[in-house]
Amino acid sequence: MRLFTTVAALRCYLNLCQSKPQIETNSLSVSIGLVPTMGALHEGHLSLIERAKRENDVVIVSIFVNPLQFAPTEDYQSYPRTLDRDRSLGQQAGVDAIFAPTAEELGVNEKLSSRTSVLPPPSMTSVLCGKSRPGHFQGVATIVSQLLNIVQPNKAYFGQKDAQQVAIIRRLVKDLSFNVEIVTCPTVREASGLAKSSRNQYLTPEQTAQAGVLYRSLQLSKLAFQAGERDSKVLKGIVNKELATVKSVAVEYVELVEPNTLMPLEKIEEQGLLAIAARIGEARLIDNVVLKVRQPIVAIDGPAGAGKSTVARQVAAALGLVYLDTGAMYRALTWLVLQSGIAIDDESAIAQVVSSCSIQLTSSTQLDRPVRVWINGEEVTQAIRSLEVTANVSAIAAQKAVRMALLQQQQSWGLKGGLVAEGRDIGTHVFPDAELKVFLTASVSERARRRQQDFQTQEQVDCTLEQLEQTIKERDRADSTRELAPLQKAPDAIEICTDGLSINQVTEKIINLYHKVLI
């Protein structure tokens, strides 16, 4: 693992990384993941690093105690600085390089007004923690923008614990068109429920035990929400009542806001961020929970030939959910491209067409009826099954802009929920907050046997089992290492090996899991 303290050295390192071909993944470009931190690394940070490791070729962790985000009365001087320990933790976690610049290196002194800064919408920075920490989020936005500009990562990783920070960063990335994907990772907690934080070091053991009340109060409110409560006053009241049971807790705020805009909510219509800030002794602690009204999402991933699409269709029909037929969506985009007379290899022109189109799907609960599809208002259910579309769909689906356009469409449907989606990265990338994630596998020999049976029923060329096994192994390797949407099992996915199981048995297993998860 390397340690860099200057922008020039880090840039040089990143350039060298970019110029090395990725022999293992056989890809031409190197993906970079950035995990911005203030150091004093703990399991929360390590979870971000692990995720970044899984999803990128190179992982950079920045460690910078940013003076711009501390008010004069705050703990800038006493904030824990443990670079040696952080280095060994980074090394163990497989980080490629730590970037630990000085304030001077980033052109920062304690005054925000003496340099160029990034000003997120005041409606987002003046609420929640912004009320008591004026200038804090402007300081965060400025340095995060600078880090994104220095590292130019493909993905940058942030923790849900700092929900306001994530919302503001997502907004600045959108508003300033940064070419980066922001990945939010779940909050890592102590056994007591206390969110891990570098500032937990300020707590005595007794206070640490007391601090579990933050999480407990949020969970109580979540229970009420799950029982149908939607009113902000009631949900916040439950949190306040529980917090009041611990004398040492000085509540700064308990708020319910819309998670993306951070606008206060009187009632939850779609989703709400219930957030707390409180002081215990020397420590200022924050925590939150997202309450979603949306119907559940079932994500089914797995290698080719494990029976995903048939199972997904059946599960959706049995549970009355919409089957999100991604294949049909790619076909619709292909139809649109062909219709527009654009050459299949003109990626920029294709990007232009697909980034502004809209797709609608309705699924019937009758399994023998195809999903109906519209693109830009025109029904294309039949047209997308043409030979011309079939011949071109995989070339179109392999283009990054097409994947991005589709991801946006899928995620916008995900807001309402109530769907089953299958693919390679649904549980990790498309719907990382799906209520149920299933990873369907089958042994190579089983998949080869199934493929051979299919060939035989379709009276197609006969292949030996050995040949089929070889092709399947190669396909698995290509799918897991491909640059775009590689096959990934989410850490919280439940694996079902379908060897020896019929489609109906697999469907039944998933339905049972669904009922268990959703109690």
Which residues sit at the interface with ligand AMP, rule CB under 6 A?
A: 37-38, 44-45, 47-48, 158-159, 161-162, 185, 187-188, 195-198
Residue type, 420: V
For ligand AMP, which is the closer residue by CB, 21 or 491? 491
For ligand AMP, which is the closer residue by CB, 47 or 410? 47
CB of 197 to ligand AMP, least distance (A): 5
For ligand AMP, which is the closer residue by CB, 198 or 399? 198
Please state the three-class secondary structure of 339-362 as a single string.
Answer: HCCCCCCCHHHHHHHHCCCCEEEE
CB of 180 to ligand AMP, least distance (A): 14
Contact 404, 352 (CB under 8 A): no
Q: In sequence order, which residues have a C-beta less than 8 Å from that of residue 108 and are 6 or more positions away?
A: 66, 67, 68, 115, 143
Strands across the sheet with 249-257, in order?
249-257, 271-280, 283-292
For ligand AMP, which is the closer residue by CB, 173 or 361? 173
Q: In sequence order, which residues have a C-beta less than 8 Å from that of residue 39 and are 6 or more positions away?
A: 63, 64, 65, 80, 81, 82, 83, 86, 100, 198
Dihedral of alpha carbons 54, 428, 354, 352, sign = negative
Active-site residue among 45, 136, 429, 515? Answer: 45
CB of 479 to ligand AMP, least distance (A): 29
CB of 248 to ligand AMP, least distance (A): 21
State the Cα–Cα distance between residues 14 and 35, nearest whole angstrom.
Answer: 15
For ligand AMP, which is the closer residue by CB, 65 or 298? 65
Residue type, 488: Q
State the Cα–Cα distance between residues 18 and 32, nearest whole angstrom.
Answer: 9
Q: Is 56 helix (H, G, I), strand (E, B) or coil?
A: coil
For ligand AMP, which is the closer residue by CB, 154 or 198? 198
Quick one: angle between helices 163-175 and 136-151, nearest 10? Answer: 60
CB of 362 to ligand AMP, least distance (A): 38
Instruction: Say whether 136 is catalytic.
Output: no
Query: What is the pairing mode between strands 372-375 and 378-379?
Result: antiparallel
CB of 494 to ligand AMP, least distance (A): 23
For ligand AMP, which is the closer residue by CB, 164 or 221? 164
CB of 222 to ligand AMP, least distance (A): 18
Token pair 């090394």 in the structure block, residue: 91
Q: In sequence order, which residues have a C-beta less than 8 Å from that of residue 82 and are 6 or more positions away?
A: 39, 40, 41
State the Cα–Cα distance between residues 17 and 32, nearest whole angstrom.
Answer: 9
Annotated active-site positions, please? 45
